Chain A
Amino acid sequence: MNILVLGIGNILLSDEGIGVRVVEALQERYYIPDSLDVMDGGTAGLELSENIANRDHVILIDAVKTGAPAGTVIELFDDDVPRLFRTRISPHQLGISDVLGILKIMGEIPKGFTLFGAVPYSLHTGTELTEAFLPIREAILRRLVKRLAELGIELEQRDVGVPVNLLTQMAN
């Protein structure tokens, strides 16, 4: 299985950065085996196309707007994921919907998808998730680890957390 975990979001807009924050937490707390790619996609678009292309499975984590109350977590699978981005409820729809559309026409669309989305409390300027969103990050992280196990990748927890990058260190 060729799997990518891709967190998307703008970490300068508080809860908007949930996808990136979940991916950071995953890397801090678990050993990532060579067989798994984990990526902070930020707010990028077309630059991601090659990373997503031809995967067996892509797990996306993103802030979404569904009309549901803030703090709602949604899970979608396979064909429902590209369909979701077509109906534009993710703030990053431009990037990702373009990329998925392009991969489709190029015949490189991944075989399977999982999306973990959460409805943000705040999109205000700030580098940290709101207090209320921290449990949401934990909930998505647990679901993500479980989903990876279902896909055949059992992650081993680190004894001590390792901050993954500069921005995480600074935010802490």
Chain B
Amino acid sequence: MNNRVIIDPVTRIEGHLRIDVEIDDGKVSKAWSSGQMWRGIEQILLGRDARDAWAFTQRICGVCTTVHALTSVRAVENALQLEVPINAQLIRNLMVAAHAVHDHIVHFYHLSALDWVDIISALKADPKKAATIAESVSTWSLNGVHELTSVQQKLQSFVDSGQLGIFANGYWGHSAMKLPPEVNLIAAAHYLQALEIQRDANKIVAILGGKTPHVQNLTVGGVTNSINLDSQSVMNMERLVYIKELMTRLDDFIKNAYLIDISIVGASYLEWAGYGAGVTNYLSVPEMALDSRGTRFALPGGYIENGDLSGFKAITSFEDKFFIEGVKESSRHSWYADDGVPLHPWEGVTDPNYTDFQDDGKYSWVKSPTFYGKPAQVGPLANVLCMAAAGNKSALDNTQFVLDTVGSLASTKVGLDALHSTLGRHAARAVRCAVLMEEMHNQWDLLVDNIASGDVDTFNQPVFPKGEIRGIGFHEAPRGVLSHWAVIENGKIKNYQAVVPSTWNASPRNDDDVPGPYEAALLDHPVADPQRPLEILRTVHSFDPCIACAIHMVDIEENEIVKVKVI
């Protein structure tokens, strides 16, 4: 039997993502990933002052505001060869870490955990038994029987009211849901606690950024935070100490809830370490610059081909030729008018030409980026594998902790290979969150020490030359490598291309007809019920697509997660 399933969620925030799969004998035999909306937002930047580009780019997306702002100022600074004061780098690094920690926690608990956790089943749990289980694996203070009982009552009152609210969108009772009621209850409790905790991370971004949700403190050449440890109105010791307090609270949750929860899910669904590998070329960039030019970084990045960590090639600076020369984009299978020959982003053209959905022709607004001609997976898994290959201790230790915890819960041995999978992407995200949190403490120390040494510089004035210059800014964003490519003429934007993480992962087939990461990852997935394709959502969600929120949304009136069409 051959079935075609189309999942077509609707959102305006980042653009629609549509996934088509062909199912043969209960398994996915072919997959297509299609971006369903053309934005052309880059066009808005043409002719604008290059110093203002960041303020527009941070409005591109509702989820990733800060990351586009940062990447844009980096691109312009790169074009100008402009150094950035250490204080500015460190303040940016703290924002990078806090934003990513926020993003990773929200992604796991609020945008994807319900693919694995059956909230309704938690109503059947024995809170006492649940507390015993939780306390046997973690020292998190909110695992007690009192807390769990109150969570269960809260859920019950929601169900009784007939309005499930945020829980109305799950595939409850699906045959692929496997956690016992007690574990579902623990997860439900952490879901709610994570709602509180995410605010702490967001507060750090707001304190440093001056405004949320759209930060105000970035500028080409540094940051606008003025530093005076004794003044009331600027960046002072009181604020820095408050940030440290928030960091400590986040530490506790990440170590004692997030890493443990991901291990429990991993141990309970270990077969998912065998699904969803897809493209195992991994691309990641170094992050958290430690000097004014961006030649030393706290966290390494680079490229791994075919999952072989021993062949890791590092990317080492903001000027790195290996990265800059390796990126091209093709529109062979995308709705653009050019002939599809892969182009470097500085030469990129964006001339829309919509046809209909052609299985073997054009079927997406997303272009197909390649690294030296090959598709690459980006995101926390790519980042963690690259950090591990580069010997970053925090990445190695936290990865080992999760693998060991999964192994001991499942009474088996789990090796690094398990990470090349749907489950691996979730585990790597938790590991990256822990690594970022540890590094955030280092960055805080560096900032306080640097200020204490008497350095309060935060800004170097940019000066634009006459004529044309080119710049590239990159950032290891929560969803992976983000790069902005700017061509500037007389201080004004002449061409601008953003190659976003979801472009790498959600890309259609490339110039050589090789499938992109989502498409490759979905092959051979079992689909128990084509009307409720939970297995497909699990793998797509594991990438944290920028449209993840959309895929999980529900129309309560119609009671469905997304439009699922089975042909």
Interface residues of A (CB under 8 A from B): 10-13, 16, 40-51, 86-88, 91-95, 97-98, 101-102, 104-106, 123, 125-127, 166-167, 170
Contacts and interface: CB of A to CB of B under 8 A. Distances in A.
A163 to B, nearest CB: 14
Given A46-B106, A46-B198, A170-B52, A92 B555 contact: no
B52 A126 contact: no
Nearest to B549: A94
Given A10-B12, A125-B41, A98 B557 contact: no
A51 B199 CA distance: 10
Contacts of A11: 59
- Which 10 pairs of residues, A with B, have the shortest CB-CB distance? A43-B62, A44-B213, A101-B166, A101-B165, A91-B12, A47-B213, A94-B549, A50-B199, A125-B40, A12-B59
A153 to B, nearest CB: 22
A104 B39 CA distance: 34
B165 A45 contact: no
A101 B549 CA distance: 14
Contact of B192 (A40, A45, A105, A125): A105
Contacts of A48: 213
Contacts of A166: 52, 55
Nearest to B10: A88
B195 interface: yes
B63 A12 contact: no
A10 B11 CA distance: 13
A89 B549 CA distance: 16
Nearest to A93: B553
A42 B209 CA distance: 15
B56 interface: yes
Given A10-B12, A95-B13, A105-B192, A127 B44 contact: yes
B48 interface: yes
Given A16-B12, A94-B553, A40 B214 contact: yes
Contacts of B192: 105-106
Contact of B555 (A43, A87, A101, A125): A87
A127 B60 CA distance: 12
Contacts of B40: 125
Given A16-B12, A48-B213, A94-B13, A42 B59 contact: yes
B553 A42 contact: no
Contacts of B56: 12, 127, 167
18 contacts: A12-B44, A16-B12, A43-B13, A44-B65, A46-B202, A47-B213, A50-B203, A86-B556, A87-B556, A95-B62, A98-B549, A102-B195, A104-B166, A105-B154, A106-B196, A166-B55, A170-B52, A170-B55
Nearest to A10: B59
Contacts of B555: 87-88
B157 to A, nearest CB: 10
Interface of B: 11-13, 39-41, 43-44, 48, 52, 55-56, 59-63, 65, 102, 106, 110, 154, 158, 165-166, 192, 195-196, 198-199, 202-203, 212-214, 549-550, 553, 555-557
**Most B C-beta atoms less than 10 A away, residue of A11, A16, A50:** A50
Contact of B212 (A47, A91, A127): A47
B11 A94 contact: yes
B202 A43 contact: no
Contacts of B102: 47
Contact of B213 (A12, A16, A42): A42
Contact of B166 (A91, A105, A125, A170): A105
A10 B48 CA distance: 19
B496 to A, nearest CB: 13
A11 B56 CA distance: 9
B106 to A, nearest CB: 6
A165 B41 CA distance: 20
Contacts of B202: 46-47, 50
A88 B195 CA distance: 22
A88 B168 CA distance: 14
A46 B48 CA distance: 31
B13 A126 contact: no
Nearest to A46: B106
B55 A45 contact: no
Nearest to A170: B52
B199 A49 contact: yes
B111 to A, nearest CB: 9
Contacts of A92: 12-13, 62
B213 A87 contact: no
Contact of A104 (B55, B165, B212, B557): B165
A45 B549 contact: yes
Given A92-B13, A105-B154, A105-B158, 17 more contacts: A44-B212, A45-B63, A46-B110, A46-B198, A48-B213, A49-B195, A50-B202, A86-B556, A88-B555, A91-B12, A94-B550, A95-B62, A101-B165, A106-B196, A125-B39, A127-B44, A127-B56
Interface centre among B48, B154, B165, B553 (most CB of A within 10 A): B165
Nearest to B37: A123
A126 B166 contact: no
B106 A126 contact: no
A10 B12 CA distance: 9
Contacts of B59: 10-12, 42-43
Nearest to A87: B557
Contacts of B557: 86-87
A106 B60 CA distance: 30
Contacts of A10: 12-13, 59, 62
Contacts of A13: 12, 39
Contacts of B44: 12, 125-127
B44 to A, nearest CB: 6
A127 B65 CA distance: 17
